[in-house]
């Protein structure tokens, strides 16, 4: 979920700290509501203020013009460096022309509809815009109560976008909090404008993060006798992410997953899914959980089994049949196998049925415990394809596994658990860079008998590597001197040989696992360059 906090709710007597907070936060945009006292019964701020804001704000600007004749101000909005310019459908008799002019100015074009404006007024423009902003309050004042029928409008708009193959995203503005944000996300919203809910919070940065996250775990603890399975665990999972949950056996992963699914009750702490406290029967419909201990009915036909589990989640048969057919195709389940009894299938195909039974209702949050068990490389790739499709539909996937190479290929984020504590948590790429050794892998073309000379103050050491991944080159490992820059190293090398490859050595997930746990993981292969 994208988040665009509204400047309208900031402290205008002391804007600088609020802008610094936005810059440091995980917000995607800064929303600027411009009001003229004519189109709406209020006046907000003009271009002098916006210019000052633009100089200090590092986030892209999402400019929303609640004014008459917004086309007069396209060049001024462009000069701010704005990424998005939003105009009201109700204020633009020549809407298509305005959209064209915004695009010509190099900005994304958005169209806004008021609470009383039907979605069908956008039929002739939906394929031309980049964004549709649905007002969930009457425009003109901040802090208004959310209008519930906005959820229905978002759903209608999502259907229109799908049916026309439009690339427009859906933004919603007004009365946004965790609860209304959850409803809007379920209806198909892509971006939320949050004003007073963010700027009025004790910790606005954490509030922004909470809006974006599908799963929020705070201070979770669980004890079995004298053993602490979980020790004050905190974890945030962003919507649409693929999260790898890693850790040695007995680390606490299974306990954590069971608490998320309300199978176990924690001793303390909280779990929120899409803004709701995790509770059996309340959040179970938006969850899909495949435990390590499989649970299929061996005498039941494959298609009947998948539909049965989907119906338990309250989804209609028509939707389930459509989803089942699509996912079976992705998973390469033959037509003849779809009508066989589960016990007649191979172990790999039974695993596919287990996964399909978990995801057929397309839950917002999918948790798969050891999903690669029983899969050969071909089926592993099919699972990768399936998860890619789920991500396209903004499903969030948590993969608990010891298969480091598979997690490395599929996951966007990881959490490493050991002895009930989170040791490592975050974006995989960021974690790799934070834990890099500084080593540089270099391949040069030169006669094998020759050696690179250590004759630059920028280079601490050069080691010739035994492996030769590059047919026409020689591989070296270089340790830069302290405070050395890459350009100095490249210059020193270029004087001696042609450089074929020059890249930082980043740790693999296996390397990180070993560094933080000191243990080997099953199915992992040690590597030094990724």
Per-residue pLDDT of 424-458, as tens digits, reads 998 898 899 899 888 888 888 865 556 677 778 88
Euclidean distance between CA atoms 340 and 376, whole angstroms: 22
Catalytic-labelled residue, pool 18, 33, 130, 369: 33
For residue 376, count CB atoms less than 10 angstroms from its CB and return exposed for 0-12, middle for 13-18, buried for 19 or more. Answer: exposed
CATH classification code of 437-505: 3.30.70
Read off the pLDDT of residues 379-436 as tens digits, 9 standing for 90 and up: 888 998 898 888 887 789 999 988 888 898 889 999 999 999 999 998 898 899 899 8
Overall average pLDDT of the 203-217 stretch: 83
What phi and psi, each to the nearest 5 degrees, are found at residue 499?
Answer: -90, 120
3 state SS of 389: helix
Residue 318 bears catalytic tag: no
For residue 40, count CB atoms less than 10 angstroms from its CB and return exposed for 0-12, middle for 13-18, buried for 19 or more. Answer: buried
Cα separations in angstroms, 416 against 15, 116, 355, 524: 38, 49, 23, 15
Per domain, the residue ranges of the chain are 2-201, 228-421, 437-505
**268: pLDDT confidence band, cut at 50, 70 and 90?**
very high
- The region of weakest confidence among 47-51, 60-64, 435-439 is 435-439
What confidence score (pLDDT) does residue 156 get? Answer: 94
Query: Whole-prediction pTM value?
Result: 0.65
How many residues does the structure list for the chain?
A: 530
Overall average pLDDT of the 477-485 stretch: 85
**275: pLDDT confidence band, cut at 50, 70 and 90?**
low
Read off the tokens for 414. Answer: 């990881």
Q: Which residues contact 61 (CB under 8 A, 6 or more apart)?
A: 29, 30, 32, 50, 53, 54, 80, 81, 82, 83, 84
User: Are residues 234 and 217 in contact, defined by beta-carbon separation less than 8 angstroms?
Assistant: yes
- Listed residue (354, 324, 332) closest to 342, CA to CA: 354
Overall average pLDDT of the 31-36 stretch: 95
Overall average pLDDT of the 317-324 stretch: 90
Overall average pLDDT of the 339-368 stretch: 90
| Residue 408 half-sphere exposure toward CB, CA atoms < 13 A | 21
Quote the distance between the C-alpha of residue 77 and its chain's center.
Answer: 29
Euclidean distance between CA atoms 11 and 297, whole angstroms: 60
Question: CA torsion sign, 136 to 138 to 140 to 141?
Answer: negative
Residue 459 has pLDDT above 90, yes or no: no
What confidence score (pLDDT) does residue 151 get? Answer: 94
User: Are residues 274 and 236 in contact, defined by beta-carbon separation less than 8 angstroms?
Assistant: no
What confidence score (pLDDT) does residue 524 get? Answer: 40
CATH classification code of 2-201: 3.20.20.70
For residue 298, count CB atoms less than 10 angstroms from its CB and return exposed for 0-12, middle for 13-18, buried for 19 or more. Answer: exposed
Overall average pLDDT of the 134-152 stretch: 88
Q: What share of the chain is helix, strand, coil (3-state, %, to 5)?
A: 35, 25, 40
- Listed residue (49, 51, 1, 5) closest to 24, CA to CA: 5
**To the nearest whole number, what is the mean pLDDT of the chain?**
88
Residue 33 bears catalytic tag: yes
Residue 97 has pLDDT above 90, yes or no: yes
User: Are residues 61 and 80 in contact, defined by beta-carbon separation less than 8 angstroms?
Assistant: yes
Read off the pLDDT of residues 282-300 as tens digits, 9 standing for 90 and up: 667 788 999 888 788 999 9
CATH architecture of structural domain 228-421: 3-Layer(aba) Sandwich (3.40)
What confidence score (pLDDT) does residue 530 get? Answer: 23
**336: pLDDT confidence band, cut at 50, 70 and 90?**
confident
User: Are residues 480 and 458 in contact, defined by beta-carbon separation less than 8 angstroms?
Assistant: yes
**527: pLDDT confidence band, cut at 50, 70 and 90?**
very low
- Listed residue (506, 463, 462) closest to 484, CA to CA: 462
Overall average pLDDT of the 33-48 stretch: 94
Identify the helix (H) or strand (E) that includes residue 150: helix 150-164
Catalytic-labelled residue, pool 18, 173, 190, 369: 173
Buried b / exposed e along 144-179 (16+ C-beta atoms within 10 A): bebbeebbebbbbbbebbeeeebebbbbbbbbbbbe
What confidence score (pLDDT) does residue 526 get? Answer: 31
């Amino acid at each position: 979920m994208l988040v665009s906090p509204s400047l309208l709710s900031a402290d205008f007597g002391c804007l600088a700290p609020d802008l610094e907070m936005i810059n440091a936060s995980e917000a995607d945009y800064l929303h600027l509501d411009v009001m003229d006292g004519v189109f709406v019964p209020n006046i907000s701020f003009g271009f002098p203020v916006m210019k000052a804001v633009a100089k200090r704000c590092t986030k892209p600007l999402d400019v929303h013009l609640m004014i008459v004749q917004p086309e007069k101000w396209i060049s001024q909005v462009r000069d701010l460096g704005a990424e998005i310019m939003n105009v009201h459908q109700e204020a633009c008799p020549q809407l298509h022309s305005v959209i064209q002019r915004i695009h010509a100015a190099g900005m994304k074009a958005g169209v806004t509809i008021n609470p009383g404006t039907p979605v069908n007024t956008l039929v002739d423009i939906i394929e031309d815009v980049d964004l549709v902003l649905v007002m969930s309050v009457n425009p003109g004042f901040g802090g208004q109560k959310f209008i519930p029928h906005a959820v229905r409008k978002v759903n209608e708009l999502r259907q229109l976008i799908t049916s026309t193959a439009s690339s427009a995203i859906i933004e919603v503005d007004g009365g946004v909090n965790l609860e209304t944000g959850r409803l809007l996300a379920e209806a198909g919203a892509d971006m939320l404008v949050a004003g007073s809910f963010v700027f009025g919070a004790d910790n606005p940065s954490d509030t922004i993060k909470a809006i974006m996250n599908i799963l929020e775990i705070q201070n979770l603890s669980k004890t079995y006798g004298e053993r602490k399975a979980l020790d004050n665990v905190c974890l945030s999972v962003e919507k649409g992410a693929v999260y790898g949950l890693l850790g040695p056996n007995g680390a606490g992963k299974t306990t954590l997953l069971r608490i998320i699914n309300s199978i176990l009750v924690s001793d303390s702490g909280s779990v929120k899914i899409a803004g709701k406290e995790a509770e059996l029967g309340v959040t179970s419909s938006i969850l899909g959980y495949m435990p390590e201990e499989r649970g299929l009915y061996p005498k039941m036909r494959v298609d009947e089994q998948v539909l049965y589990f989907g119906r338990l989640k309250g989804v209609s048969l028509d939707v389930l049949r459509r989803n089942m057919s699509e996912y079976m195709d992705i998973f390469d389940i033959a037509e003849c196998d779809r009508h066989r009894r589960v016990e007649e299938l191979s172990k790999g195909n039974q695993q596919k049925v287990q996964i399909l039974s978990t995801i057929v209702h397309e839950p917002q949050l999918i948790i798969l415990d050891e999903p690669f068990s029983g899969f050969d490389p071909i089926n592993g790739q099919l699972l990768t394809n399936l998860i890619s499709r789920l991500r396209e539909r903004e499903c969030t996937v948590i993969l608990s596994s010891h298969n480091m190479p598979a997690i490395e290929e599929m996951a966007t984020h990881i959490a490493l658990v050991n002895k009930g504590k989170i040791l490592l948590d975050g974006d995989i790429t960021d974690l790799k860079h934070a834990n890099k050794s500084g080593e540089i892998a270099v391949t040069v073309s030169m006669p094998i008998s020759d050696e690179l000379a250590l004759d630059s103050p920028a280079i601490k050491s050069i080691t010739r590597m035994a492996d030769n991944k590059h047919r026409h080159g020689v591989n070296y490992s270089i340790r830069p001197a302290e405070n050395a820059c890459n350009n100095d190293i490249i210059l020193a090398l270029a004087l001696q040989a042609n450089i074929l490859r020059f890249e930082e050595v980043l740790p693999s997930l296996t390397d990180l696992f070993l560094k933080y746990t000191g243990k080997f993981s099953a199915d992992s292969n040690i590597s030094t360059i990724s």
